[in-house]
Amino acid sequence: MRPAADASAFYAIADPTRRRLLTMLRSGARTALELAAPFAQSRSAVSQHLAVLARAGLVERRREGRHQVYRLRLEPLREVVDWTAGFDAYWDTRFDNLGRYLEAHD
């Protein structure tokens, strides 16, 4: 059994392949075959990535005939958005400092 950590949205989005799969699903539901097509990895490897996304609740899977169809679920990303929002003040300060520096050296 895998640790509970791999069921978190943070773990799921840590991998670039999984982030790319999520990006592909932003335009709508797709079959597993459609999702695997652009990758050099085997369909089995992509299937494992999709399983991680499903455990984290980021995708929903349903069967349509012989095909597995995946749909994006954004709700689990709320935790990630809320956590990163805590860094907004830091970045605002950094960008303000950069802006002042650029204006002074223009």
Could you read off the pLDDT tens digit of each residue along the chain, which spans 106 residues? Answer: 455 566 799 999 999 999 999 999 999 999 999 999 999 888 999 999 999 999 999 999 999 999 999 999 999 999 999 999 989 888 889 999 999 999 999 7
pTM assigned to the model: 0.80
Classified as helix, coil or strand, 83 is: helix
CATH of the structural domain 4-75, one choice from 1.10.4190.10, 1.10.1380.10, 1.10.10.10, 1.10.760.10: 1.10.10.10
CA angle 57, 62, 66 (to 5 degrees): 140
Backbone angles phi, psi at 71, to 5 degrees: -130, 140
Say which residue the tokens 């860094």 belong to: 87
Contact 53, 22 (CB under 8 A): yes
